[in-house]
Structure 1
Amino acid sequence: ALESPYQQWCAEQRYGRSVVAYLQSSGLLNAQLSLAHGVFTTRDDMELLAKAGSSIVHNASSNLRLRNGIAPLCEMLDAGVNVALGLDSMALNDDADLFQEMRLVANLHRSPSQQLDARQVFSMATINGAKALGKSAELGSLECGKQADFLVLDVSRLPVPRVALDTNIFAQLLHYAGADTIRQVYVAGECVMDEGHHRRLDEASLRDDLYQQLSLFGLRKVATSQASLAEIKPYLADYLAARRGV
């Protein structure tokens, strides 16, 4: 929702109001709803989202790659909106490293008048994500009665300066950690990843099968995609001309 300026414009043209206002009037705005992106949310939208308990999933790297802009993250948080972090899939974030995404988010929303606290960014990547899924009673933080999902990090793999006793651990991990810092991944108390290797899956066999399927798919798909794009192009040109008032 509201990923691009075209979505914002289309909602105004079709509904006479913003996407968020339309969802609210349709009875769809509630705590079970999470909206990806939200780059073009207005202050009024934020107030509606916060009041309804709905979530925004911020996909910073995807928005930058597609030239859609930068979501008003700090304003959303100030308005009380639950904001989680996403990667918008491997198609738009090639390494799927959430530590890198957190670092990007922290640096992207930094200005002389505002900046995110490191713990806020970690909250968006953990408990806020659980809230967006409606699973905050089970996931998102290490508490008695919750599922034991956690990472084991090797701080010796961090570049200098090393972690010291008086260091803000959230700031250290935010600025220096990455996928290669992770030693193990636990889900529900079970170690499922150990030093980058999945304990349940035959990775080599899966990778070989994937490469084979992608090769077959690619040969069939290229011709079909080119023909489909040629059919769509005139309609897209008309739409963009109307959008620019040409």
Structure 2
Amino acid sequence: MAFFEAALSRWQDRDADRVSVQLAPANLHWCSDHALTTIFDTAKRTGAKVHMHLVETERQAAFARKHTGRTAIGHLHHLGCLGPDVTLGHGIWTTPDDLDLLAEHRCQVCHNASSGLRLASGIAPVTEMQARGIPVALGIDQSNIDDDRDMWTEMRLVWSLHRQAGMFNPRPSPAQVLQMATEHGAASTGFSGRIGRLDPGLAADVVLMDWTEIARPFVEPRTPLVDALLLRSRKGAVRTVFVSGEKLVDGGRVTRIDRDAVMAEIADRLSQPATPAEQRAQEMVDRLMPHLEAWFRAHPDQGAFAPYRYNLMAEAARGGEG
């Protein structure tokens, strides 16, 4: 907490328009109840936002049931640790009652679609969240679908992933997905009401795209603009970016740094031989992994609520292993 207090003191007045210092308890299974209540009490006292990864995996959901007798979100509610300044990362293994609590306390959820697929964690019940009015933001959790950090690709994935079969099943519209990436993203970062929309009085955050790149070779004239943007855009079409009126991308190139030089330096540093400490750590992982896998196979989880059929595949596979 001392580190947080120092960071808050350093940054809250220095660059408040662009920097938000938040508290981030790692997860329910890594925090005691005392740690959680201390963190959330500090957030209320200082006005800081809280971002917490929660029920990303079936195992995490099972841990909460076993050790608290409640769902993870139910336990946070019991501790008084839910509220409008709370964003929950992932929220994949949430129950309908969990979603009701999130809506009641006006929490946000950060949806990391690529991460859930790549790590085989599951798919979050986004349409059910939206039906309850829960603001859902978009993230990648450092693991987007093809390692290029293209948020347009991520938006397309989210739009496609939640198009459930059937003519009349609810599904997010392109406009809703764009809102997830902008306005709802702002709400989850502590800048709600200041960024996320093109409105008078808000920060001049603007992205200009090359329409010829998006429309090539043809876009039906009746296609809504937002639909075309969502379904066709890629980061390569970004030409100019303003943040609070400052031009940070010009002609597709970052203005504040030499991106090519930075990428070359990263490649050089990461290509260096492993240090003795790194080698020892990798050897330990290699030795431990077979034992971890054996333990997980011997202790299957059961009874987790699966909001998507995709998630149920985990239960089917687990049954086969047993």
Is 1:143 the counterpart of 2:199? The answer is yes
Distance 1:27-1:154 versus aligned 2 partners, 3 A rule: same
User: SS state of the match for residue 140, structure 1?
Assistant: coil
Counting only pairs closer than 5 Å after superposition, residues 167-246 of structure 1 correspond to structure 2 as 167-216=223-272, 218=274, 220=276, 221-231=278-288, 233-235=290-292, 237-243=294-300
CA shift, 1:199, in A, is: 0.6
- Segments of 5+ residues of structure 1 without an aligned counterpart are none
User: SS state of the match for residue 271, structure 2?
Assistant: helix
Counting only pairs closer than 5 Å after superposition, residues 91-110 of structure 1 correspond to structure 2 as 94-110=147-163
Counting only pairs closer than 5 Å after superposition, residues 1-246 of structure 1 correspond to structure 2 as 1-90=54-143, 94-111=147-164, 112=166, 113-158=169-214, 159-162=216-219, 164=221, 166-216=222-272, 218=274, 220=276, 221-231=278-288, 233-235=290-292, 237-243=294-300
Q: Distance in 2 between matches of 1:217 and 1:22?
A: 45
Q: Distance in 2 between matches of 1:78 and 1:141?
A: 22
Task: Letter of the 1:200 partner, please give it.
Answer: R
User: SS state of the match for residue 216, structure 1?
Assistant: coil
1:78-123, CA deviations, whole angstroms, 9 ceiling, x for partnerless residues? Answer: 0121100111115765011111111111111112122211110110
Q: Distance in 1 between matches of 2:264 and 2:297?
A: 42
Q: Distance in 1 between matches of 2:70 and 2:292?
A: 24
What's the TM-score, normalizing by structure 1?
A: 0.91
- Segments of 5+ residues of structure 2 without an aligned counterpart are 1-53, 303-321
Assess if the C-alpha contact under 8 Å between 2:115 and 2:144 holds in 1. Answer: no
| Further displaced range: 217-226 or 166-175 | 217-226
Distance 1:116-1:91 versus aligned 2 partners, 3 A rule: closer
Distance 1:11-1:107 versus aligned 2 partners, 3 A rule: same
Assess if the C-alpha contact under 8 Å between 2:102 and 2:108 holds in 1. Answer: yes
CA shift, 1:235, in A, is: 4.5
Task: Letter of the 2:158 partner, please give it.
Answer: V
What's the TM-score, normalizing by structure 2?
A: 0.71
CA shift, 1:244, in A, is: 5.1
1:37-66, CA deviations, whole angstroms, 9 ceiling, x for partnerless residues? Answer: 111111111111111111111111111111
Give identity over the alignment, percent.
33
Assess if the C-alpha contact under 8 Å between 1:31 and 1:134 holds in 2. Answer: no
How many equivalent residue pairs? Answer: 245
